[in-house]
Structure 1
């Protein structure tokens, strides 16, 4: 592992599902569920669920760019969630479920914008991509019981119905990026 670890924070709907995928990605050394880019300091899950805090449910990734690139992390992101629905992922609706890429450097923002432009020009989706690309602000970790939720609750209904298919899709599409 290099000494130059980076962070990238992603909002792709419920953080349980997004976390379940990224803990399996080679080069990702830490995944933390949390909240970002809202106006309330250190909000609770209950506050975020109201939609009144402006926060997004996210996962903060710490990764080794020598093992996995920002582009690869974003390619996974665009496969495992719907980037064309505003404030919604499946049955989860509200601004806390918006599609977002929260960067920690201008280089990461450039990679994100370039990938979105490529996908838009290629016509990969029949609707516009609504993913916001912004600097990470006002981040706080989610409560302890949200961390590693899928791993700790694989039989929970939501995990079986929503998270498990996303994990399976990742494994099928990105086998080369799975941890050994």
Structure 2
């Protein structure tokens, strides 16, 4: 159950695949422009953070939830990773729901708190490429898990999916 009422008339939600927090010695987490982009949102998800819990970003005024993927055997760096940041004053209206793996996370945006007609069930997803060793090691299909959750939540509110689905279109020749 979510409690509280906010007077916010707009909610700014974002999702950004950052392709790793470090690249060639540059740390995005120390870049003021990068931080400013995040801080301009009410709720934002960073995908493919490639970091451990100790390296995860922390921001004043935000409550983060980090999903850290374990290192694959034989590699020196992490892959994947999801970090969701919600402004602290909105936290009472945002409920993090159970999920079955660290490649997606569900949030419930509570209608009473935000003054909406329906709850919104927001799913942030990082679907790794089909040909990755990580994907080949999975016992379940991420889309099947998400589809099951959509069936469960769709009777209770509206569904919003965001993220990097690594979707491809094309035709075989």
Q: Same fold (TM over 0.5)?
A: no
More helix by share: 1
Whose strand fraction is larger, Structure 1's or Structure 2's?
A: 2
Q: TM-score, normalised by structure 1?
A: 0.28
Normalised by the size of structure 2, how large is the TM-score? Answer: 0.29
